[in-house]
Structure formats: C-alpha cells, structure tokens
C-alpha cells in the first residue's frame, strides 16, 4: 500500500506517485503535507536538511490546491539558483503528469528572457523563479502576481546568504496582502526569523531534524596536514578510493580553478564550477558530473548552491567555511535518501578549534583520520592490479602472442617478471616531487627552531583598521602564499599596514602570489620591506610608493567577498 494515500492527497496524485515509485514519505513530507492540505490557507515553516524531500513536501499539496479552472497565476516558488529552480519545476511537472491542465513555468537568469516572456503569455498556474530574473520580468510587466495565493520560499537561508533579501521584499510587495507564505529552509538564522515576523501570521512549523538527528547518515571526518600538503593529501584519498564521487569545496574562484587544472593534468576526472564560468560552461560541467563521467566536482560555495546530485559518496572541504551554517549545506549534499556519506575536512594544525566549533554548533562528532601514506597507496595499487589480473578473462589470441614473446622472457623467472610488472605499476603513481611519506601533522605543533637571521621582512597594506588580528593575518598570508605558518617569524600589526617575517628559504615568489588578490575591493600589496621602500614606525609610506587607500571593511567581510 502506498503510504502517501494516508496524507490526504488526491487519487490522481497518488496514482502518479505509484508510477514514479514513491511509496513511503520522508519525515518532512509525512508531517508537512497533511498540515498544508487540512489547514488551507496557512502560513508554514518547514525545517529540514537539503536532500530530505522538501520539494515534494510543498509541491504535492500545491498540485492539489491549484484551481485549474482559473487561468491566473496562483502560486509562486522562489529558489536561490537556476539549477534548483529547474529541478523543482521538473519535479512539479512529474507530480502533475495526470493533470495536464496544470501549467508550470520556470524562469531564471542566464537564459534568453524573450523566450521566458513568450512562455508566460500562456495561462500559467505556478511560476518557479530565481529572484533576480523574476524582478526583471516584473519590471517588464511580463508576469502578473496580483492573484498569487501561495508563495513558497525554498532554501530560504541560501537566498539570504546570496543577498536576495531586498529582492524578496520587492517581489512580495507585488503579491496579495492575504496570500500565504510557505518557508522551507535547512537552518533558521536570525534573518529568517525576521522574515517570519514580517510576512507570516502564526505559522505552523515542522522541524523534522532536531540537533541530535542532523547529518545522521553522514560520517564527519578530518585530517590535519600542512596547508601546502592539502593537494597531495587530496590526491592520496582519490587514488585510494577510485570509486569516490563527490564535491570539493574551496574558498575562492582562483583556488577552485587552479586545483581543477592541476588534478586534470595528472589525469583525474574533475571539473571546476565557479562564478567566472558562463552559464553554458556551468551546464556542461554539471551534465558531465551527473552522467558520472568525472570523479570530483570542485566548486565554491556560491557556485554549488542549488546543485542536487544523487549518490555522492563524499563532500570534501579544502577549506572550512567561515559560516558554520554553510558547513551544514555543504555536508548535506551527501548521505541522502538513507544512503551513507562522508564529509571530510582538510585542516591545518591551527584549525582544530574550528572543528570543535562545528561539533558544538550542529551537534555532530568528528573522527580524526590519517592521510594515507605512500606505503598505503602502493599496497592498494598493487592489490587492485593483482585482483584485476586474476579476474581478467584470457583472450583467445593470447596463446599466439605469448609464443612470439617467449624469447624475450627466457632468462627471467616468474618472480623476476612479476617484480618488473610491480615496478611498472608503482611508476604510475602520481607523486609530487620530493613528496613525504607521512603528510599528517599534529594539531598545535610548535614551529621549528631556525636561525632568525635567515628571515626576510615584508610589508602588507592591511592593518588593525581592517579588523585584523595576528591569527587572521597569518592565516591569510599562509593561505594565499601557500607557505606553511611555521615558516613565518615575528609579526607586527599597525593601524594601516603590517610587517611580518618569513624564512628566506621558503619565500620565493611570495610577492607575486598576492597579485590580483583583493580585500574589500582594494588590491593587496606585499613587498620586501628591506628593499628600498622604507617606512617609519607609524606605518606611513614615504614619498616613494605613497598609499592613498581608505580601508573600510574588516578582514572577515573581505574573505566572504573573495569567495
């Protein structure tokens, strides 16, 4: 028996669900659907993680509540990204396949607006839209919302994170005052509560994921390694688990592109996804990823929003997000529909406190694991190779070819041949130059003792006026330059600038690594302080190289903007 039939849905919808193979509702569906059907109209809040079936939770009752005899637009669904909007519209079309008179249109940026205007001229009952494109259509008077009875804010926390608060306010001003609002979100930050207070009247609320149950199908793990060794560590996990299929999250677009290029050159199946790509490039990358023609999608948080891909085994954090809520969204892309998943963070020795913060915030436990050693990799490759040989069906032509080759191996024993074959397999391991056997680090380990005279002094045009702390600055300098923190020496933060020391054996091309890096729209400048650009102790520059910048924003804000 289809358990959806107990929720109050129409026979027509139940028949469609049977065809689609939907028999057992998820918790958010089981609790939300009856409330939305029995209490029509009502404002509603649904709290559940990404991948728990929220689209069906609001989509199924919406299909039944729409009056198909009325040709006006009756429901508006807002989604943060094009990808999520497309997925939502597709699911709604699937759910309404028994009732072809329900017309659903999806509109989003990055596609010709003329085609969307033409589609909206037909009677449209439900509009699925991204906020930016919807505002454009409203200004062109191409969409009419004055008869909208139901407004659904899907992934509301994501829309706010992306800066759509003002757009949502403007859009809702064009709808009926007595409309109802259904808000679905994975988290409930303060900004969401303000929306609830402003636009909703005594909403019913369903929260199926209490803190104790969040991410229950996801194993949270982390490794501690040098920032400079994160790339090598990532490769070892990919080599050891060739069946891995996941998303690697990076902080910046430049970092995303660089890692993708470096991995691709080594033969890994990867693709980058970031804001500098055209919509056509994004679509092509997602198509390849969904058809399983690549192992890893490398993305920024913003670019990955709205991505819905089934059967991801891993989410990997090259850098932990600044906002703890973002960790929930990232990790929630694996471990879906009852399947198990792994969320793996690559942290440096000083980031252990961030792991503790996440544990305390979302009530999960992290397991510290080791980066695979070179010995592990060699053993895994040889065992896989041996398994492949044992299970390979012998070709009919093999006997004749073996006879021709017999003379080449006459002086070699079976053991000699095997040793040579094993060596060829080991030669195929893609190891970095001078790569260490053990890439693991001890959290909080003390720096090496070195001759201080070997350090070079540098200037950077960021100071305390930018909200900088010593910890922030070292983190920033190390991440951009790829120089491990232990090679930094003394650090002096002044109001408008800072001075720091770096071991002279590790600062090659340090200044070049900061070219193109910005902080709150201001170019970051780093140069040797002992090469003619002298400054007094106040941090004011001399006549040569005068600095006319006007810093206004703190470092935390700038890091978000760089993403």
pLDDT, tens digit, 9 for 90 and up, residues 391-413: 888 888 888 888 777 777 778 88
More confident residue, 383 or 512: 512
Give the pLDDT of residue 561: 39
Higher pLDDT, 529 or 279: 529
Percent of the chain with pLDDT over 90: 37
Average pLDDT of the chain is 83
Query: Is the model's pLDDT at 17 over the cut of 90?
Result: yes
Confidence at residue 188, expressed as pLDDT on a 0 to 100 scale:
80
Q: How far from the centroid of its chain's Cα atoms is residue 528's Cα?
A: 36
Q: Which two tokens stand for residue 442?
A: 């001890």
Q: Give the residue, 355 or 379, on which the prediction is more confident.
A: 355
Helix (H, G, I), strand (E, B) or coil at 186: coil
Kind and range of the H or E run holding 420: helix 414-427
Q: How far apart are CA 446 and CA 512, in angstroms?
A: 28
Confidence band, pLDDT 50/70/90 cuts, at residue 430: low
More confident residue, 124 or 454: 124
Residue 210 pLDDT level (bands cut at 50, 70, 90) = very low
Q: Backbone phi, then psi, for 532, in 5-degree steps?
A: 95, -15
Q: How far is residue 440's CA from residue 436's CA, in Å, rounded to a whole number?
A: 10
12 class by beta-carbon count within 10 Å (0-12 exposed, 13-18 middle, 19+ buried): middle
- Give one DSSP letter per residue of 347-397, joined into a string: E-GGGHHHHHHHHHHHT--EEE-PPPPHHHHHHHHHHHHHHHHHTPPPPTT
Query: Considering just the CA atoms, what is the radius of gyration of the chain in Å?
Result: 28
Asked if 467 contacts 555 with a C-beta cutoff of 8 angstroms, the reply is yes
Indicate whether 155 pLDDT > 70: yes
Exposed / middle / buried, residue 99 (Cβ in 10 Å: 0-12, 13-18, 19+): middle
Asked whether 362 and 211 are in contact (CB, 8 A), the reply is yes
**The pLDDT value given to residue 215:** 58
Residues 333-348: tens digit of each pLDDT: 888 767 889 999 999 8
Task: Report all structural domains of the chain as residue ranges with CATH numbers, in order of start.
Answer: 3-207 (3.40.50.300), 218-368 (3.40.50.300), 379-427 (no CATH), 452-562 (3.30.70.330)
DSSP state of 314: E
CA 52 to chain centre: 17
pLDDT of residue 541: 42
pLDDT band, very low/low/confident/very high, at 2 (cuts 50, 70, 90): low
pLDDT in tens, 224-246: 998 889 999 999 999 888 888 99
pLDDT of residue 416: 85
Q: Is the dihedral of CA 510, 513, 516, 519 positive or negative?
A: negative
pLDDT mean over 127-152:
95
Measured CA to CA, the distance from residue 556 to residue 485 in angstroms comes to 19
Q: Which residue has the higher pLDDT, 373 or 114?
A: 114
How far apart, in Å, are the Cα atoms of 547 and each of 209, 494, 534, 539?
52, 14, 13, 10
pLDDT for res 555: 41
**pLDDT, tens only, 78-116:** 998 888 898 899 999 999 998 888 999 999 988 899 999
More confident residue, 533 or 24: 24
What pLDDT is attached to residue 558?
40
Closest Cα partner for 146 from 105, 174, 114? Answer: 174
| Residue 423: partners with Cβ closer than 8 Å, 6 or more residues away | none
Would you state the pLDDT for residue 305?
Answer: 66
Range of lowest pLDDT (6-15, 438-447, 554-563): 554-563
Higher pLDDT, 472 or 431: 472
pTM of the full structure? 0.57
What's the pLDDT tens digit per position in 517-540? 887 778 999 999 865 444 443 444
| Residue 182 to residue 44: CA distance in whole angstroms | 5
Q: What is the mean pLDDT of residues 126-134?
A: 95
Q: Looking at the predicted structure, is the pLDDT value of residue 142 above 60?
A: yes
pLDDT tens across 169-201, in order? 999 999 998 999 999 988 787 788 888 888 899
Give the Cα separation of 431 and 414 in Å (integer): 28
pLDDT at 533: 41
- Given a cut of 80, whether residue 434 has pLDDT beyond it is no
CA 204 to chain centre: 31
Confidence of residue 222 (pLDDT cuts 50, 70, 90): very high
Instruction: Please tell me the predicted confidence (pLDDT) of residue 206.
Output: 93
Q: What is the pLDDT of residue 560?
A: 39
- Report the alpha-carbon distance of residue 517 to residue 9 in Å, rounded: 54
> Whole-angstrom Cα distance, residue 82 to residue 87?
9
Quick one: CA dihedral 65, 32, 82, 195, positive or negative? positive
Share of the chain above pLDDT 70, in %: 87
H helices of 123-243, in order, are 131-139, 156-161, 165-172, 190-199, 230-240
Check residue 474 and give its pLDDT. 86
């Amino acid at each position: 028996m289809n358990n959806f039939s107990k929720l109050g849905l129409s026979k027509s919808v139940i028949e469609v669900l049977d065809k689609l193979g939907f028999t057992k509702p998820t918790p958010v569906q089981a609790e939300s659907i009856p409330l939305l059907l029995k209490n029509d109209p009502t404002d509603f809040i649904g709290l559940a993680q990404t991948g728990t079936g929220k689209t069906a939770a609001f989509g199924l009752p919406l299909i039944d509540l729409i009056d198909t005899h009325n040709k006006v637009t009756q429901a508006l669904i807002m989604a943060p990204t094009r990808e999520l909007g497309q997925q939502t519209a597709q699911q709604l079309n699937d759910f309404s396949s028994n009732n072809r008179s329900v017309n659903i249109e999806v509109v989003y940026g990055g596609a010709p607006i003329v085609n969307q205007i033409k589609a909206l001229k037909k009677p449209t009952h439900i509009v699925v839209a991204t906020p930016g494109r919807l505002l454009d259509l409203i200004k062109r008077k191409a969409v009419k919302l004055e008869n909208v009875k139901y407004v659904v804010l899907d992934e509301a926390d994501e829309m706010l994170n992306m800066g759509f608060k003002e757009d949502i306010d403007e859009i809702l001003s064009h709808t009926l005052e007595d409309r109802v609002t259904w808000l679905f979100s994975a988290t409930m930050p303060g900004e969401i509560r303000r929306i609830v207070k402003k636009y909703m009247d005594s909403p019913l609320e369903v929260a199926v994921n209490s803190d104790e149950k969040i991410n229950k199908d996801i194993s949270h793990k982390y490794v501690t390694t040098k920032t400079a060794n994160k790339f090598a560590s990532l490769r070892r996990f990919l080599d050891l688990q060739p069946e891995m299929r996941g998303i690697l999250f990076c902080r910046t677009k430049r970092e995303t592109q660089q890692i993708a290029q470096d991995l691709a050159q080594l033969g890994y199946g990867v693709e980058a996804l970031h804001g500098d790509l055209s919509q056509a490039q994004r679509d092509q990358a997602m198509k390849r990823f969904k058809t399983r023609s690549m192992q890893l999608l490398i993305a920024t948080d913003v670019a990955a929003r709205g991505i819905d891909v089934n059967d991801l085994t891993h989410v990997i954090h090259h850098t932990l997000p600044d906002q703890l809520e973002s960790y929930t969204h990232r990790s929630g892309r694996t471990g879906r529909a009852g399947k198990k998943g792994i969320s793996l963070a690559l942290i440096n020795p000083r980031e252990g406190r961030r792991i503790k913060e996440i544990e305390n915030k979302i009530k999960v436990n992290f397991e510290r694991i080791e980066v695979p050693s070179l010995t592990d990799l060699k053993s895994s490759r040889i065992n896989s190779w041996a398994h492949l040989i044992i299970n390979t069906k012998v070709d009919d032509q093999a006997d004749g070819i073996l006879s021709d080759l017999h003379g080449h191996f006459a002086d070699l024993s079976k053991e000699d041949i095997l040793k040579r074959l094993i060596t060829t397999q080991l030669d195929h391991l893609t190891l970095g130059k001078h790569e260490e056997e053990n890439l693991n680090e001890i959290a909080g380990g003390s720096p090496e003792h070195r001759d201080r005279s070997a350090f070079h002094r540098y200037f950077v045009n960021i100071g305390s006026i930018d909200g900088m702390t010593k910890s922030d600055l070292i983190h920033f300098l190390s991440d951009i330059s790829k120089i491990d923190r232990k090679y930094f020496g003394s650090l002096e933060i002044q109001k408008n600038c800072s001075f720091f020391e770096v071991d002279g054996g590790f600062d090659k091309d340090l200044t070049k690594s900061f070219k193109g890096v910005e902080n709150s729209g201001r170019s970051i400048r780093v140069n040797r302080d002992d090469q003619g650009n002298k400054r007094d102790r106040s941090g004011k520059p001399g006549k040569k190289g005068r600095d006319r910048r006007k810093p206004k924003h703190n470092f935390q804000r700038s890091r978000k903007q760089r993403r």
